[in-house]
């Protein structure tokens, strides 16, 4: 969700000074932006942590 909102804000740039009604729903319907290697590695490590924590429950 955070990635999609950040991408939306980057695209809007200075246009965001105009009044535009955007809903969270419309933002979330957009495809995910390209993920760089650092973000991909972070997501992989988080997934691994969640899998490990699930083993202890």
What's the average model confidence in pLDDT over 21-37? 82
pLDDT at 14 over 70: no
- Return the SS3 of 54: helix
Q: Which residues of 21-36 are buried (b: 16+ CB within 10 A; e: fewer)?
A: eeeeeeeeeeeeeeee
What's the average model confidence in pLDDT over 31-53? 87
Average pLDDT of the chain is 79
């Amino acid at each position: 969700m955070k990635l999609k909102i950040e991408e939306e804000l980057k695209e809007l740039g200075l246009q965001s000074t105009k009044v535009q009604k955007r809903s969270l729903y419309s933002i979330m319907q957009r495809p995910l932006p390209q993920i760089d290697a650092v973000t991909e590695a972070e997501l992989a490590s988080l997934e691994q942590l969640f899998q490990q924590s699930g083993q202890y429950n």
